[in-house]
Structure 1
Amino acid sequence: MGSGIPIPLLLPVLSALHSHGFRPVSGNLHEPLLILEGRDGAGIRLRCLSERNIPNIRLLWSDGNGRNLSGIPEPRDSGKGGSSVLLRPGSGNAAACRILEPRSRSDTESIVVIAEDFFPAASPWIPALALLLTLGLFLLLAAALRLRWNSRILAQERKNQREILEEIEELKMELEEEIAKFQREQQEMEEKLERIQGPLVFRRAQSHAASVTPAELRGNPGMAREGNERSVPGSEAAAVAREGFSQGKHYWEVELGSGSGWELGVLAEEIRDSLRDDSVPSVPEEKVAGLEYSQGEFRLPGGKLERNSGRCRVLGLFLDQEMGVLSFFDVEEKQLLGSLPLRISGNLFPFFRPGWDGNVLGIRPVGV
């Protein structure tokens, strides 16, 4: 509802009686009561009420120009009839509510005249607002055209960017292929170089050939391990060389036979003496350095293997006490099997353990 008019406001009305085929008001039929509810949007809301409870009455609306208006019936909670209507500008500034009582064929009418000032006035800003709306629509259209143009430019730029990215991906793939090719060639070159260097390293080690003579002992420097120690079962014989090496570089070769297990390496002098007396039940791990072979696999505790498995018929051992390294070579392949940093110092003795299967290990003269 609008403001500026008291709600509800009872206005003086002009009553008139009309025949229109009905009898004038008489008996219980009274003039309808018109109530000005107040402003409602662009118009004024009016209510028309029958003061008495008369069944089957009809309430009809018309404006100052004689045109019929559509009213909104109100609930008949108290039995009295009622209706409301919205009177808009241009309706003649007047409204009439007419009550019809079909049974007695009588009617009565109330009219209200409302000054023009009571109607909501059109705002002077409306033309300016219309101009602003027109200008806004024009700007919106211009912005839409500009956006469309920018979208085309952006789409072309994105297309160009995709093409550039595709070219970059192609170049990247080509680069990766070239890198992979280079890595393969480098690996092949390293393998060739290793194959060339392997025999050279082997020949360099072989140039330090030393005389080694094994002597059989009752003890065993190899076999099983318990923690950081090696057990020494007396049921398996081992051999330790008579010669010991305390400095320099020394190389010797051992024929391994057809056994499924063996161990070759060096051990400390104190361990050699204990094994000779058969007085040591176990050997500390740091006092023995050796390469083990069992069931087709090599094992080098504390060292690095170049090959983990395969058959080796002749093993070359190179003791470099200047560098503190013990190396093992496959003599027939002239390639390094593995190397082991030495944790033993002092006088070191080569040892030979052939295993349990009756295999025989033999010293082979270097150069054969």
Structure 2
Amino acid sequence: MFSIDTQILFCCMAVFSPRKTQLLWNYFLPFLLMNHLTLGNTISPLIMLDQYEGSGIRLVCTSEMLFPEIQLLWVDGEGQELLAAPAVATPDNITSSILLQPGAGHFVSCRIVSKSTKTSAGSTSVIIADIFFPSTSRWMIAFFVIAVLGTVVILAIYYILKKNNLKLALSDNEQKAMEEEIARIKIILGKEKNESQEALKVQDNFEKTMEELDFRRAASHAVNITLDPQCTHPKLIIKEKNRIKLSSLYLGLKDLKGALIAVAKEGFSSGKLYWEVEVEGRTFWELGVLTKKVRKRLESETLEKPLEEGYVSMQWFQNQYHCIGGSSLTDGQNEECAVVGVFLDLEEKMLSFYNVQLMCSIRTIPVEFFEKMYPFFNPGREENFLGVRPVSSPPRLASI
């Protein structure tokens, strides 16, 4: 935790044009600009933008437990205490959250207060403009307004032509003037069409940014994975603790009995876990999780029998993704990828797969088991190794 007073400012100028405002919304949504100032020995808690809830934004405040009787208070710009979720305290830190609604005043501060002395030991403030709250895209509204106006203009031209019977009795000058007017209107409509297309492009960029934010949240729960030689098919070779492939002695054999998989030493019964696997250049691979009961059975049988139940996975086979053990709740991209991110959320009971290069979702499968889960890996019959790699921080989002 920090030993300096932190002031967080996030603002969007209301005087900007809608296009500039939308661009700011697209690129600066995930971040708050943090400016730390050293003032004596005050302690500044950390404020994070956690997620959207309905029409509001969930803010989370975290501080170290520097002394026993500590509490976190949320106050508005006038110093009035705000209603927040009950604080969660551990021996090391304390966390509190608040749901900020649009129009409820967007300046909030999280203060560290001693329960005994009622004095503040430090605070952090945040300002969030209305543009960052979920709302209907103004560009989309503009698109429909332009479409209606275009229809009205065309009907008006038709009415004028019919009323004056210009098709039969217009003079050359009048005809020329009308053609010029029609050409001018077509130019206006063309410009409006281009602006509408640009608005749709901004909307697509926004959706892509939201997918990247979802990927970054998953990658923030990275864990280390080590393959267990005691729970690995005897025809597979383990290298460097987390790389695996089929032994070259069996590459030409078609009938290989049993589950050609390697199971991790690490098992998980709660929380959120993320790991990455290198699968580039393979015609087949399978990644997933299985229950502790299935793991014990496989280990006792030396993996001579195939998997039948108690597991959830995703395969790459015949240039397509296949979900095993459940139907996907999402239909993400279908391109072949070099590195797959696997996110096991035991709180939401979901197993998600990501394209790490594109930072977007591939598939999400529900996990309906309530016992400890173990990652497993099927490398297929390729000559190169399939490997669990260390998770690196994704690149920063592009900014203006």
Into which bin does the TM-score normalised by the smaller protein fall? Answer: 0.3 to 0.5
TM-score normalised by structure 2 residue count: 0.41
Structure (1 or 2) with the larger CA radius of gyration: 1
